[in-house]
Amino acid sequence: MNPDLRNLINLQDIDQKIINFKRQIAEIPDRMQSFQAALQQLTHAHGQKAAQGQELAKQRRAHENDVEMMRTRLARLKDQLMTVKTNKEYTAMLHEIQAAEDQIRAAEDEILAIMEQAEAMEDKLAREAMELKVKEAELAEQVKKSESAIPALEADVSRLSAEKIALESVIGQELLGRYRRIAEARKGVALAEAKDELCSACHVRIRPQVLADLLRTEEIHVCDSCSRILFVRESS
């Protein structure tokens, strides 16, 4: 294989690694923001359920106050019952007392239903609070890992950039310029492996003559379709 072509292959490998590391670095802030958003969403959902529990407690207190007022009224009605003088008044008063007692029972049933809801809500909130703590710890660990990954990735980029400079210094300037122009036009990929008689980048069939030249000469050839520099990978 042409030594310059071998150097270009190594150069492209380095360039792709640098691109990959830089992409990982660039993605970390978004990933951390996503972690924080997920935590905020969980906390907000838990807070809403806690607010529902508080609303149930408020409803229970309101119903208990109503029952207290009803009981006071019922006591007055029973006192008045002893003072009525006619059977008609007595019967009417009994109906009123019965209605008051029915209201009290209905309100007490409502209080019991609210208490059951509140108890179920408290159990659920307790479980979710534990789950939220676990999730908070997991997200905090993910944030820590993401933050700690940045220096290592930056060190990799710095090391590879130095290797790239050293490698570029031994490649002919004309060929290096050609590589850069193709890479700029082809999303950073200037070289493509010729494999199974196809260009591995654009998957167009390579002309037999070009393929034959690739196998037996050290000349630089490009794909007729995508203009990338073709190479045949050496067996290890």
Q: What is the pLDDT of residues 6-47, one digit of tens each?
A: 999 999 999 999 999 999 999 888 888 888 888 888 888 888
Domain that holds residue 122: 3-171
Number of H helices, E strands in the chain: 4, 4
Shared domain check, 214 and 138: no
**Total structural domains in the chain?**
2
What confidence tens digit (pLDDT) does each residue in 120-164 have?
A: 888 888 888 888 888 888 888 888 888 888 999 999 999 999 999
What is the pLDDT at residue 112? 92
- In this structure, the dihedral spanned by the alpha carbons of residues 58, 61, 66 and 67, taken in order and rounded to 10 degrees, is 140
Shared domain check, 48 and 67: yes
Whether pTM > 0.85 for this model: the answer is: no
Shared domain check, 154 and 42: yes
Please state the rounded mean pLDDT for residues 63-75.
Answer: 91
What is the pLDDT at residue 152? 92
pLDDT-derived band of residue 236, with 50, 70 and 90 as boundaries?
Answer: low
The answer to whether residue 49 sits within a structural domain is yes
What are the beta bridge partners of residue 231?
Answer: 193
The answer to whether residue 113 sits within a structural domain is yes
Shared domain check, 179 and 167: no
What angle do helix axes 87-168 and 3-81 make, rounded to 10 degrees?
170
Among residues 221, 218, 216, which one has the least CA distance to residue 206?
221
Shared domain check, 117 and 11: yes
Q: Burial of 147 by CB count in 10 Å (0-12 exposed, 13-18 middle, 19+ buried)? A: exposed
- Name residues whose C-beta falls within 8 Å of residue 142's C-beta, 6 or more positions apart in sequence: 31, 35
Shared domain check, 122 and 190: no
Alpha-carbon distances of 188 from 14, 42, 46, rounded to whole Å: 11, 41, 47
- 20, 156 in Cβ contact below 8 A? no
| Residue 172 in this model has a pLDDT that exceeds 60 | yes
- Choosing from 156, 171, 186, the residue where a domain stops is 171
- 67, 100 in Cβ contact below 8 A? no
The answer to whether residue 236 sits within a structural domain is no
The answer to whether residue 66 sits within a structural domain is yes
Shared domain check, 137 and 226: no
